[in-house]
Amino acid sequence: MADPSASGSSPARPEPPLPPRRILVVHLLLVAIVGGQLWSTLADRERWPFSPYAMYSTLERERTLTWLRLYGVPEREPASEIPLLSDDQLAPFDQARLPAALGHMAGRRGDLREALRDCLERYETLRRSGRHDGPPLRGVRLYRVRWTLDPEARNVDRPDRRTLVLEVLSSSIRKRP
Protein backbone atom coordinates (compact mmCIF):
# COMPACT_ATOMS: atom_id res chain seq x y z
CA MET A 1 0.00 0.00 0.00
CA ALA A 2 0.97 3.57 -0.52
CA ASP A 3 3.91 5.07 1.11
CA PRO A 4 4.47 8.40 -0.56
CA SER A 5 7.75 8.79 1.18
CA ALA A 6 9.30 5.43 0.61
CA SER A 7 10.73 5.71 -2.87
CA GLY A 8 14.04 7.04 -4.00
CA SER A 9 17.47 6.47 -2.67
CA SER A 10 19.76 9.20 -3.90
CA PRO A 11 20.48 11.91 -1.33
CA ALA A 12 21.03 14.57 -3.97
CA ARG A 13 18.89 17.51 -2.98
CA PRO A 14 17.98 19.12 0.31
CA GLU A 15 14.37 18.93 1.36
CA PRO A 16 12.91 22.34 2.13
CA PRO A 17 11.06 22.18 5.42
CA LEU A 18 7.43 23.24 5.43
CA PRO A 19 6.90 26.71 6.92
CA PRO A 20 5.11 26.70 10.29
CA ARG A 21 2.15 28.56 8.79
CA ARG A 22 1.70 25.84 6.24
CA ILE A 23 1.84 23.18 8.92
CA LEU A 24 -0.79 25.15 10.84
CA VAL A 25 -3.08 25.26 7.79
CA VAL A 26 -2.82 21.49 7.39
CA HIS A 27 -3.65 20.97 11.06
CA LEU A 28 -6.63 23.31 10.82
CA LEU A 29 -7.90 21.33 7.86
CA LEU A 30 -7.43 18.13 9.83
CA VAL A 31 -9.32 19.55 12.81
CA ALA A 32 -12.16 20.67 10.51
CA ILE A 33 -12.50 17.25 8.87
CA VAL A 34 -12.08 15.10 11.98
CA GLY A 35 -14.12 17.50 14.11
CA GLY A 36 -16.95 17.68 11.59
CA GLN A 37 -17.06 13.94 11.21
CA LEU A 38 -16.96 13.32 14.98
CA TRP A 39 -19.67 15.93 15.52
CA SER A 40 -21.95 14.19 13.04
CA THR A 41 -21.12 10.70 14.30
CA LEU A 42 -21.56 11.44 18.00
CA ALA A 43 -24.79 13.36 17.40
CA ASP A 44 -25.93 10.63 15.01
CA ARG A 45 -27.22 13.34 12.69
CA GLU A 46 -26.58 14.13 9.06
CA ARG A 47 -24.45 17.26 8.71
CA TRP A 48 -23.64 16.92 5.03
CA PRO A 49 -20.83 16.62 3.94
CA PHE A 50 -20.33 14.99 7.33
CA SER A 51 -22.41 11.97 8.12
CA PRO A 52 -22.81 9.17 10.67
CA TYR A 53 -22.97 6.82 7.65
CA ALA A 54 -25.92 4.97 9.12
CA MET A 55 -26.95 3.34 5.85
CA TYR A 56 -28.15 -0.23 6.37
CA SER A 57 -27.49 0.08 10.11
CA THR A 58 -31.02 -0.55 11.37
CA LEU A 59 -32.19 -4.08 11.95
CA GLU A 60 -34.56 -5.76 9.52
CA ARG A 61 -36.56 -8.44 11.35
CA GLU A 62 -39.70 -8.89 9.27
CA ARG A 63 -39.70 -10.62 5.93
CA THR A 64 -41.90 -7.90 4.53
CA LEU A 65 -41.30 -4.60 2.79
CA THR A 66 -43.49 -1.51 2.80
CA TRP A 67 -42.60 1.21 0.34
CA LEU A 68 -44.09 4.28 -1.30
CA ARG A 69 -44.50 3.85 -5.03
CA LEU A 70 -45.77 6.17 -7.69
CA TYR A 71 -48.10 4.82 -10.39
CA GLY A 72 -49.11 6.53 -13.60
CA VAL A 73 -52.70 6.62 -14.87
CA PRO A 74 -52.52 6.39 -18.69
CA GLU A 75 -54.71 8.66 -20.78
CA ARG A 76 -56.17 5.80 -22.80
CA GLU A 77 -58.79 3.84 -20.92
CA PRO A 78 -59.11 1.10 -19.90
CA ALA A 79 -55.36 0.78 -19.52
CA SER A 80 -54.37 -0.15 -16.00
CA GLU A 81 -52.03 1.87 -13.83
CA ILE A 82 -48.32 1.53 -14.52
CA PRO A 83 -45.62 1.75 -11.85
CA LEU A 84 -43.18 4.58 -12.59
CA LEU A 85 -39.91 2.78 -11.95
CA SER A 86 -37.52 4.28 -14.49
CA ASP A 87 -35.29 7.15 -13.42
CA ASP A 88 -35.78 8.65 -16.89
CA GLN A 89 -39.49 9.08 -16.18
CA LEU A 90 -38.96 11.20 -13.09
CA ALA A 91 -35.45 12.60 -13.51
CA PRO A 92 -33.60 14.03 -11.72
CA PHE A 93 -35.14 11.94 -8.93
CA ASP A 94 -34.16 8.31 -8.51
CA GLN A 95 -36.13 5.43 -7.03
CA ALA A 96 -34.64 5.86 -3.57
CA ARG A 97 -34.80 9.64 -3.28
CA LEU A 98 -38.34 10.21 -4.55
CA PRO A 99 -40.14 7.86 -2.10
CA ALA A 100 -38.08 9.31 0.76
CA ALA A 101 -38.94 12.87 -0.27
CA LEU A 102 -42.64 12.06 -0.64
CA GLY A 103 -42.56 10.22 2.68
CA HIS A 104 -41.39 13.38 4.42
CA MET A 105 -44.57 15.14 3.26
CA ALA A 106 -46.89 12.56 4.81
CA GLY A 107 -48.42 15.07 7.20
CA ARG A 108 -48.57 17.90 4.67
CA ARG A 109 -51.35 17.09 2.25
CA GLY A 110 -51.01 20.31 0.26
CA ASP A 111 -47.29 19.86 -0.26
CA LEU A 112 -47.78 16.24 -1.25
CA ARG A 113 -50.39 17.24 -3.83
CA GLU A 114 -48.01 19.86 -5.25
CA ALA A 115 -45.20 17.28 -5.33
CA LEU A 116 -47.33 14.77 -7.26
CA ARG A 117 -48.43 17.49 -9.66
CA ASP A 118 -44.77 18.30 -10.21
CA CYS A 119 -44.00 14.62 -10.86
CA LEU A 120 -46.81 14.37 -13.41
CA GLU A 121 -45.69 17.48 -15.23
CA ARG A 122 -42.09 16.34 -15.24
CA TYR A 123 -43.05 12.90 -16.56
CA GLU A 124 -44.93 14.51 -19.44
CA THR A 125 -42.15 17.01 -20.16
CA LEU A 126 -39.57 14.22 -20.27
CA ARG A 127 -41.87 12.07 -22.43
CA ARG A 128 -42.43 14.85 -24.94
CA SER A 129 -38.67 15.51 -25.12
CA GLY A 130 -38.03 11.82 -25.89
CA ARG A 131 -36.28 10.97 -22.62
CA HIS A 132 -38.58 7.97 -22.15
CA ASP A 133 -41.19 6.14 -24.19
CA GLY A 134 -43.88 5.73 -21.54
CA PRO A 135 -47.53 6.36 -22.45
CA PRO A 136 -49.14 9.77 -21.97
CA LEU A 137 -50.56 10.06 -18.47
CA ARG A 138 -53.67 11.76 -17.19
CA GLY A 139 -52.66 11.41 -13.59
CA VAL A 140 -50.44 9.85 -10.94
CA ARG A 141 -51.31 7.94 -7.81
CA LEU A 142 -49.12 7.45 -4.79
CA TYR A 143 -49.58 4.11 -3.05
CA ARG A 144 -48.13 2.58 0.06
CA VAL A 145 -47.19 -0.86 -1.24
CA ARG A 146 -46.54 -3.92 0.90
CA TRP A 147 -44.92 -7.18 -0.07
CA THR A 148 -44.32 -10.40 1.81
CA LEU A 149 -40.81 -11.20 0.73
CA ASP A 150 -40.42 -14.21 -1.51
CA PRO A 151 -36.95 -15.81 -1.34
CA GLU A 152 -36.75 -15.55 -5.13
CA ALA A 153 -38.58 -12.24 -5.42
CA ARG A 154 -41.17 -13.78 -7.73
CA ASN A 155 -43.89 -11.40 -6.54
CA VAL A 156 -42.03 -8.17 -7.28
CA ASP A 157 -44.79 -7.09 -9.65
CA ARG A 158 -47.61 -8.37 -7.41
CA PRO A 159 -47.52 -6.67 -4.01
CA ASP A 160 -49.84 -8.11 -1.33
CA ARG A 161 -51.46 -4.79 -0.66
CA ARG A 162 -51.64 -1.30 -2.10
CA THR A 163 -53.06 1.56 -0.09
CA LEU A 164 -53.81 4.74 -1.97
CA VAL A 165 -52.17 7.75 -0.33
CA LEU A 166 -53.06 10.46 -2.84
CA GLU A 167 -54.14 10.89 -6.43
CA VAL A 168 -53.54 13.82 -8.76
CA LEU A 169 -55.25 13.95 -12.16
CA SER A 170 -54.35 16.43 -14.87
CA SER A 171 -58.01 17.45 -15.13
CA SER A 172 -57.85 18.63 -11.53
CA ILE A 173 -54.71 20.70 -12.05
CA ARG A 174 -55.29 24.35 -12.53
CA LYS A 175 -53.08 25.58 -15.33
CA ARG A 176 -50.31 27.75 -14.02
CA PRO A 177 -49.81 31.13 -15.68
Partner 1 sequence: MSARERWLRFWFEPSSPLSLGICRVLFFGFLLVLYVPRDFAAWGRVSSVFWEPTWLFQVLRLPLLPAPALELLQWVWKAALALSCVGLLTRLATGVAFILGAYLIGLPHCFGKIHHNEAVVVLVLGILALSRCGDAVSLDRLIRRRRDPDSRPDGPPRSGEYTWPVRMVWVVMALVFFAAGLAKLRHSGLVWVTSDNLAIMMIQNNYAKVRTDPLTMWGLVLARHGWLCRALAGATLAVELGYPLALVSRRARWLFVPASCLMVVGIRLVLGPAFEQFLVCSLFWVPWDRLVGRIRPGVASRASRAGPRVAPAGGDPG
Binding to partner 1 (CB under 8 A): which residues in 15-54? 15-18, 22-23, 25-26, 29-30, 33-34, 37, 40-41, 44, 46-54
By CB under 8 A, tell whether 129 contacts partner 1.
no
- The total of other beta-carbon atoms located within 10 Å of residue 72's CB is 24
Binding to partner 1 (CB under 8 A): which residues in 151-170? 151-153, 156
Strand 161-169, strand 137-148: pairing: antiparallel
Binding to partner 1 (CB under 8 A): which residues in 82-101? 87, 91-101
Q: How many chain residues interact with partner 1 (CB under 8 A)?
A: 81
* Beta carbon of residue 82, minimum distance to partner 1 (angstroms, whole number): 16
By CB under 8 A, tell whether 77 contacts partner 1.
no
Rounded distance between C-alpha atoms, residue 99 and residue 146, angstroms: 14
| Cis check: omega of the bond before 49, within 30 degrees of 0 | yes
| Residues 69 and 96: beta-carbon distance below 8 Å | no
